Amino acid sequence: MNFLAHIYLSGDDPQIKIGNFIADSVKGKQFIHYPKGIQKGIILHRAIDTFTDTHPTVRKGVRRLFPIYSHYSTVIIDILYDHFLAANWKVYSLIPLEEYVADFYDLLKQNIEVLPLPIRGFLPIMIRDNWLLKYATVPGIGEILSQMNHRTGNKSQMNLAVRELELYYTEFEQEFKSFFKDMEQFATEKIPKL
């Protein structure tokens, strides 16, 4: 799961959303230095990642990409799944995606002081280029994958994965929908236990 899914799976708690969003920039036990709500979001993020990485449906998609993209296949699947969440947003939320994303960006701006420095560094670009809204279209995903490829020094060739998205669109979408039912149930049950 990438940014949009992690935010969505946090439910309505703003602190859990922030923690879930920043979790990849918070290593090891550093999370204990954050307020309790943000700690819960970080723990939830880690649980979601473990659940996702071990889910048989997700692994099926990873295997489809692995011969071409090797260990970057899991990152690509995370991004593709955010595409299917955004593209099918009306199934999952009554709040329009544009409004949901704008509200989340406002939440981050209002809590800028708690964000780790790497997040503060890319946040203006994320908001300016509206990454979360870009997930909804195939060209938008292409831009995101190109940015990711650039960050790997062009080693990953993730920018080319749009062709697999288009070639196996139906298969990836069906896998996402099947997996995401399990993921939503897992997150819903996990949050009260945090």
Nearest to 77 by CA among 62, 55, 64: 62
For residue range 43-90, what is the model confidence (pLDDT) as tens digits?
999 999 999 999 999 999 999 999 999 999 999 999 999 999 999 999
> Is the model's pLDDT at 178 over the cut of 80?
yes
Rounded CA gap, 162 and 31, in Å? 35
For residue range 11-54, what is the model confidence (pLDDT) as tens digits?
999 999 999 999 999 999 999 999 999 999 999 999 999 999 99
Rounded CA gap, 153 and 166, in Å? 24
> Is the model's pLDDT at 194 over the cut of 80?
yes
The angle formed by the CA atoms of residues 122, 128 and 129, to the nearest 5 degrees, is 90
For residue range 117-158, what is the model confidence (pLDDT) as tens digits?
999 999 999 999 999 999 999 999 999 999 999 989 999 999
Looking at the chain, the whole-number percentage of residues with pLDDT higher than 70 is 100
* Average pLDDT of the chain to the nearest whole number: 96
Tokens of 42: 């970080």
Q: What is the pLDDT of residue 192?
A: 96
- CB 19, CB 46: distance < 8 Å: no
Q: What is the pLDDT of residue 42?
A: 98
pTM of the model: 0.95
Q: Write the CB contacts of 122 (distance below 8 Å, at least 6 apart in sequence).
A: none
For residue range 156-177, what is the model confidence (pLDDT) as tens digits?
999 999 999 999 999 999 999 9
Q: What is the pLDDT of residue 1?
A: 74
Domain ranges for the chain, please list them: 3-193
What's the length of the chain?
A: 194
- In 10 A of CB 119, how many CB atoms? 18
